[in-house]
Amino acid sequence: MTAPSAGAVSDRLTGLVAALRAHGVRIGTGETVDAAQAVAALGLADRELLREGLAATLLHGTGQRQVFDPVFDLYFPRGVGGPDGESADREDLRERLASALASGDQALMAGLAAEAVDGLGGYGASPGSDGWSSYQTLDRLRPQTLLARVRDDIRARSGGPEFADRLLDDEIRRRIEVFRGLVAAEARRRVAERRGRDEIARRAVAPTADRVDFLFAGKAQLAELRRTVQPLARKLATRLAARRRRAARGSIDLRRTLRGSLSTGGVPMRPVLRRRRPARPELVLLCDVSGSVSGFSDFTMLLVQALHDQFSKVRVFAFVNRIDEVTGLLVHGAADPEGLGARIRAEATLTGWHGSSDYGVALGEFAERHENAVGPRTTVFVLGDARTNMSDPNLPALRHIAERARRTYWLNPEQRSQWGTGDSAAPAYAGLVDMHECRTARQLGTLVTRLLPV
Amino acid sequence: MFTSVDDVSARLAATGYLASPAVATTVFLADRLGKPLLVEGPAGVGKTELAKAVAEVAGARLVRLQCYEGVDESRALYEWNHAKQLLRISAGRDETWDETRTDIFSEEFLLTRPLLTAIRGDDPKVLLIDETDKADIEVEGLLLEVLSDFQVTVPELGTITATRRPFVVLTSNASRELSEALRRRCLFLHIGFPDEELERRIVRLKVPGLDAALAESVVRVVGALRAMDLRKVPSVAETIDWAHTLLALGADTLDETVVRDSMGVLLKHQDDVLKAAAKLDLDAV
């Protein structure tokens, strides 16, 4: 890297900070100044040191790192332009990739990713190319089909069979995943050179898992969300405990304070606090688990299950157009969160004659058959998008449930502006119970702290 | 204290702490910029060890504040020695009140707690605030003054400012989200699980008797377990324990029996053990 002028580096740095801010990372001016000092202390010679130095000064939490790394790659790229020399053909690339995967050499893999994007990823008509696509590169290169070849390679190289060799397939798969990440980063870098860094940094870098919309989250993102259930639950539990402590200190009981003040001539010397009944609240969850919102309800169910020791009783009901209790499935499901959704759909009676969700029938059935689950100490959460597929929303059933319960809330994973469009009965339900927009894990976290009873 | 990042790695390694580039860079910057270092990460990856190693490298005294729920000003900052003050008052009976008052609030009657200890004096110190997330949120407010300006205000004595800034390390297991104000004052370092190569070096360093090939297998198995969805994934501490166990069992290579018998060292939940056994093709445990 040639030594750039001081102005260029500080522009680069503020650009990086702006891009991170656009992704919701909160960075103050003080941190930016620290980052500049870090650059001065570390120099620009070693890119990885620079990366760590900037991460240490700019970031405040673990989750922000996965946004930071791709953005850093755009603002402080590994190089400029494509690799030198002829673009390699597909077979040759696969050959060299296989040996790089076998040796697990990261630097070699990065070089191959650059060559692959250059040779296979370009599209468009103009000389050079209009853009580069990681999808197209990987589709033509098919690194996943190298698995068997790499395995045989490594087997042949090492001596006798070893215990750890049974893990070989997974290890190679992980290396291929790394290579896919490298290709994606390289394609982003090439595109950014053509279209402008700022735009690509804003648009092409995936947000952190807790800011992904439940409704649009992919499989990998949902898996990542599931891993955050336990830490999130722990965090929420401490927040709930703090709220409970504050509530236990309680408010002043005016009647008893005045009564006590009689002995001191009417001067209230000793305030008497209202005593709280030490009853743990009960929780009932009604979850729509139909395809459209299952990601959201699965996550929420797991979260509530992880929080179960905060409540005296948690009961979870799932529905599509019939309703059934799944509390038992959930208790055992904690060990295997991935299969939870499938197991619920397999073992509980959730559908009648058709497979689409029907809130009216499900709520009616709940009010009729499981009425006793709801009492004056119960808080009811309904989870779903309130899309009834044009059938009767059955408002009296929900009203009946809300009247029996202490509190009733509805968490809707749809954007508020979508409520009431098409077959959504959200406004009608929102007239009866508190309805909250809950699109991301972050929103869910704040809602849970605010709404859960203590 | 340090001249370069490589210098940090080399000198930490000399004390038996193998630092990843991320750790070395951040330690170097914390020293250069004079900012506290907030270290997060799973249990057993060497967060507390890092502070000890830095103290050893710098030839500094390690002052440790262990946080717990209910830790307060008098445990963290300072306290007046009431018993001694009473003795002093009863000893000097014929003094005027003004003399006594100025005397009993002097340094002699001040019990310094870790935060104040770290700030006073001219010798180099490393202040370790361990498990910051366990402390109540009020204590964070207390830390803010100490960490941003390295000063403590005692109403009777005035403000005490550090003549020599200590190197501060805060650790957290993220059981509670630390406040933004505290995070902003610190450099942030997340110590995750080390990569295979580094972990192999750590195992070789901590368990010198272990065969190189076996160490490699150990690290690979642990790496595979970490990729699984377990309730408690094994940490570096568990890897080292396992290596010690294998050494004690006299195993030369890994095989089903050895792994099955020693799995309890790595995994602490029965569900996890069953899952791992299925993954590693062990026969039913």
The reply to whether residue A171 touches residue B224, judged by beta carbons under 8 angstroms, is yes
Whether residue B63 is found in the same domain as residue B82: no
Domain boundary among B167, B190, B213: B190
Alpha carbon of B5: minimum distance to chain A alpha carbons (Å): 8
The reply to whether residue B259 touches residue A163, judged by beta carbons under 8 angstroms, is yes
**Closest residue, chain A, to B191 (C-alpha):** A62
Q: What is the number of domains present in chain B?
A: 3
Which of A47, A67, A163, A245 best probes binding to B when mutated, by most B CB atoms within 10 angstroms? A163
The reply to whether residue A52 touches residue B22, judged by beta carbons under 8 angstroms, is yes
pLDDT at B257: 83
Residue B248: inside a domain, yes or no?
A: yes
Q: Look at residue B54 and give its three-state secondary structure.
A: helix
Whether residue B61 is found in the same domain as residue B145: yes
Residue A267: inside a domain, yes or no?
A: no
Residue A222: inside a domain, yes or no?
A: no
Whether residue B172 is found in the same domain as residue B234: no
- pLDDT at position A2 over 50: no
One-letter amino acid of B218: V
Residue A215: inside a domain, yes or no?
A: no
Whether residue A235 is found in the same domain as residue A117: no
Residue B285: inside a domain, yes or no?
A: no
B69 touching A, CB under 8 A?
no
Whether residue A43 is found in the same domain as residue A142: no
The reply to whether residue A65 touches residue B137, judged by beta carbons under 8 angstroms, is no
pLDDT at B284: 45
CA distance A25 to A67: 9
Whether residue B153 is found in the same domain as residue B202: no
Neighbour count for residue A46 (Cβ, 10 Å): 16
- pLDDT at position A269 over 90: no
Which residue would you say has higher pLDDT here, A227 or B69? B69
Residue A244: inside a domain, yes or no?
A: yes
Structural domain boundaries, residue A310:
227-250+278-451
Whether residue A362 is found in the same domain as residue A446: yes
Residue A83: inside a domain, yes or no?
A: no
Whether residue B140 is found in the same domain as residue B174: yes
Of A46, A163, A337, which is closest to B255 when you measure between CB atoms?
A163
Whether residue B139 is found in the same domain as residue B231: no
Whether residue B124 is found in the same domain as residue B220: no
pLDDT at B22: 93
Q: In A, what residues contact B, Cβ < 8 A?
A: 26, 28, 30-31, 34, 37-38, 41-42, 46, 48-49, 52-53, 55-57, 59-62, 65, 162-164, 166-167, 170-171, 174, 226-227, 231, 234-235, 238, 242, 335, 337-338
Whether residue B212 is found in the same domain as residue B151: no
Residue B22: inside a domain, yes or no?
A: yes
The reply to whether residue B280 touches residue A62, judged by beta carbons under 8 angstroms, is no
Whether residue A299 is found in the same domain as residue A437: yes
Structural domain boundaries, residue B204:
196-279
Domain boundary among B172, B190, B208: B190
CATH no. for residue A245? Answer: 3.40.50.410
Reported residue count of chain A is 454
Residue whose C-alpha is closest to residue A190's, from A117, A299, A116: A117
B149 touching A, CB under 8 A?
no
Whether residue A149 is found in the same domain as residue A233: no
Whether residue A195 is found in the same domain as residue A162: yes
Which residue would you say has higher pLDDT here, B187 or A292? B187
pLDDT at A336: 67
Whether residue B249 is found in the same domain as residue B144: no
The reply to whether residue B220 touches residue A167, judged by beta carbons under 8 angstroms, is yes
The reply to whether residue A34 touches residue B221, judged by beta carbons under 8 angstroms, is no
Which residues of chain B does A38 touch, with a Cβ-Cβ cutoff of 8 Å? Answer: 29, 32-33
The reply to whether residue A42 touches residue B29, judged by beta carbons under 8 angstroms, is yes
Whether residue A178 is found in the same domain as residue A236: no
As a whole number, the mean pLDDT across chain A is 82
> What does the pLDDT look like over A92-142, one tens digit per residue?
888 888 888 888 788 888 888 888 888 887 777 555 556 778 888 888 888
Alpha carbon of B157: minimum distance to chain A alpha carbons (Å): 31
Residue A115: inside a domain, yes or no?
A: yes
Domain boundary among A42, A75, A108: A75
B181 touching A, CB under 8 A?
no
Whether residue A439 is found in the same domain as residue A303: yes
Q: What is the number of domains present in chain A?
A: 3
Q: ipTM of this predicted complex? A: 0.87
Check if the beta carbon of residue A184 is closer than 8 Å to that of residue A116: no
Q: Percentage of residues in chain A with pLDDT exceeding 90? A: 10
pLDDT at B180: 85
> Mean pLDDT over residues A22-49, rounded?
90
Whether residue B237 is found in the same domain as residue B130: no
Half-sphere exposure of B73 (CA within 13 A, CB side): 10
Exposure letters A207-244 (e unless 16+ CB within 10 A, then b): ebbbbbbbeebeeebbebbbebbbbbbbbbbbbbeeee
Q: Which of A127-131, A184-188, A265-269, A329-333 has the lowest mean pLDDT?
A: A127-131
Using N-to-C axis directions, what is the helix angle for B212-227 and B236-249, rounded to 10°? 140
Q: Which of A48-52, A124-128, A214-218, A330-334 has the lowest mean pLDDT?
A: A124-128
Which residue would you say has higher pLDDT here, B285 or A156? A156
Q: What is the pLDDT along chain B (285 residues), one digit of tens a residue?
A: 888 999 999 999 999 999 999 999 999 999 999 999 999 988 889 899 999 999 999 999 999 999 988 888 888 999 999 999 888 888 877 778 888 777 888 888 999 999 999 998 889 999 999 999 888 888 888 888 888 888 888 888 888 898 889 999 999 987 777 888 888 889 999 999 998 889 999 999 999 988 888 888 899 889 888 888 787 889 999 999 999 999 998 888 888 888 888 888 999 888 888 888 888 877 544
Residue A192: inside a domain, yes or no?
A: yes
- Three-state secondary structure of chain A: CCCCCHHHHHHHHHHHHHHHHHCCCCCCHHHHHHHHHHHHHHCCCCHHHHHHHHHHHHCCCHHHHHHHHHHHHHHCCCCCCCCCCCCCCHHHHHHHHHHHHHHCCHHHHHHHHHHHHHHHCEECCCCCCCEECHHHHHHHHCHHHHHHHHHHHHHHHCCCCCHHHHHHHHHHHHHHHHHHHHHHHHHHHHHHHHHCHHHHHHHCCCCCHHHCCHHHCCHHHHHHHHHCHHHHHHHHHHHHHHHHHHHHHCCECHHHHHHHHHHHCCCCCCCCECCCCCCCCEEEEEEECCHHHHHHHHHHHHHHHHCHHHCCEEEEEEECCCEEECHHHHHHHCCCHHHHHHHHHHHCCCCCCCCCCCHHHHHHHHHHHCHHHCCCCEEEEEECCCECCCCCCCHHHHHHHHHHCCEEEEEECCCHHHCCCCCECHHHHHCCCEEEECCCHHHHHHHHHHHCCC
Check if the beta carbon of residue B203 is closer than 8 Å to that of residue B240: yes
Residue A350: inside a domain, yes or no?
A: yes
Identify the residue whose tokens are 């390289």.
A186
Alpha carbon of A209: minimum distance to chain B alpha carbons (Å): 17
- pLDDT at position A255 over 70: yes
Whether residue A30 is found in the same domain as residue A123: no
B45 touching A, CB under 8 A?
no
B68 touching A, CB under 8 A?
no
Whether residue A35 is found in the same domain as residue A97: no
Whether residue B133 is found in the same domain as residue B243: no
Whether residue B95 is found in the same domain as residue B132: no
- pLDDT at position A279 over 70: no
Whether residue A65 is found in the same domain as residue A120: no
Whether residue A42 is found in the same domain as residue A178: no
